[in-house]
Amino acid sequence: MDNSKTKTRLTYIDIARGIAILLVVIGHMNQFYRNNLNISNPQMLSFIYTLHIPLFFIISGMLFSEKSFKDVSFTKFLIKKIKTLIVPYLFLDITGGLFNVFVYSDVTLVNIKNVVVNTLTLHCNIGANWFISALFIGEIILYFFMKFYMPIYKYIAWIPFLLINVFYPFSHWINIAVRGVIAFTFILLGYYLKEFFKSDLNKRWYMILISLVITYMVSKFNGQIDIWGSTIGNPFLCVLGGLAGSYAVIGISKLISSKLLVFIGQNTMTVMGTHMLIIFFIWPLLSKSVFAAFPSLTTSAVGAILFFAIVIAVDLPIMYLYDRFIPFLIGKPSKPVVKEKEAVKSVQDIA
């Protein structure tokens, strides 16, 4: 019984992660459409940004248990987070930066050095990778918060979030710290409200609908938030939209079954670090072929859906290869060697 419950919980969490990372891809592609196609939907972009990154942080908090910090030394906690977050960040950002150098630029020592410097100074060669460092900082803050201030955390957790706008405009390093504080706030909410999110109440369609309406209204009145730039608008609306949107997506995730979404949800780190590379690599090929042959696609939803589907289709084998052969570089434990037939079957099961 317990194993079944655990499996179910992890399955809907993976599906929620899968939905969240697909929303990240759609959000970045929407911006791309605005710059390269005659398609853009600012309100949809605002809606997506209201919930997708907060959802990731909230899920992280839901999975954060008391045993994560109780009787666990900071050194042990830090080593674990370095393995699961910093190593993937270094791998994905450096390889992504080198890909850009080799494909789009001159292969010089200066350019290669700049790739490494950008990664180490958290300027990020691949824009979406800022999320990984924010999650790392947020979880480090949470560790100390839980370790030393557990009795009063629910009363003062809002203070750092409400003080964010005091620091605007931000320097690079202050901006990184503020992202971490925003991440910490949503992670803490995920931890504190985990039973609320785990409840079967959010499986009811009327609760999902109400939550989506709240998210939409927040996105309309608060505008597009940008956690990367520490732009959140009204802090209370930002929190409300993030909570409502996460509640809806988690509820939807409990109602659907999809091996593909589970697989994508288990490989969000890879998607985070590769999808923008794929978008910019695939677009010139499509613009000179499919979109050139069918110009009407550049102004239709069909063209947007086609582009999105191709990007995900290209990313799927990358997810599989990283997960299969170098899991330790994307924050996962190494896997035992499996027979060739079993490996083929696992790929077929995903399809």
Q: Model confidence over 16-72: pLDDT tens digits?
A: 999 999 999 998 887 667 666 656 678 888 999 999 999 999 999 999 888 878 888
> Would you tell me how many other CB atoms lie within 10 Å of the CB of residue 37?
19
226: phi then psi, degrees, rounded to nearest 5:
-145, 90
> Would you tell me how many other CB atoms lie within 10 Å of the CB of residue 94?
18
Long-range contacts of 293-300 (CB under 8 A, 24+ apart): 298/37, 298/38, 298/39, 299/37, 299/38, 299/39, 300/39
Q: pLDDT tens-digit profile of 171-212? A: 777 888 889 999 999 999 999 999 999 988 888 999 999 999
Q: What is the pLDDT of residue 275?
A: 96
Query: Would you say 247 and 56 are in contact if contact means Cβ atoms under 8 Å apart?
Result: no
Between CA 33 and CA 262 the distance in angstroms is: 28
Query: Would you say 278 and 311 are in contact if contact means Cβ atoms under 8 Å apart?
Result: yes
231: phi then psi, degrees, rounded to nearest 5:
-105, 110
Three-state DSSP at 125 gives coil
| Residue spans per domain, the chain | 41-256
- H helical segments located in 193-339: 194-198, 205-222, 235-255, 259-265, 268-287, 290-293, 301-325
Q: What is the pLDDT of residue 170?
A: 56
In the predicted structure, residue 241 carries a pLDDT above the cut 60: yes
Between CA 262 and CA 267 the distance in angstroms is: 9
Q: pLDDT tens-digit profile of 98-127? A: 999 999 999 999 999 999 999 999 999 998
Q: What is the pLDDT of residue 177?
A: 86
pTM of the predicted model as reported, rounded to 2 decimal places: 0.87
Tokens standing for residue 234 = 């009204």
Three-state DSSP at 134 gives helix
Between CA 211 and CA 297 the distance in angstroms is: 33
Give burial (CB, 10 Å; 0-12/13-18/19+) of 138.
buried
Q: pLDDT tens-digit profile of 246-278? A: 999 999 999 999 999 999 999 999 999 999 999
> Would you tell me how many other CB atoms lie within 10 Å of the CB of residue 56?
25
Give burial (CB, 10 Å; 0-12/13-18/19+) of 349.
exposed
Greatest Cα-to-Cα distance within the chain, rounded to the nearest angstrom: 64
Min mean pLDDT across 72-76, 257-261, 289-293 is at: 289-293
Between CA 14 and CA 16 the distance in angstroms is: 5
Q: Which amino acid appears at position 44 of this protein? A: M
Q: How many residues does the chain have?
A: 351
Short-list 25, 65, 323, 70, CA closest to 187: 65
Q: What is the pLDDT of residue 284?
A: 87
Handedness of CA 165, 169, 172, 173 (dihedral sign): negative
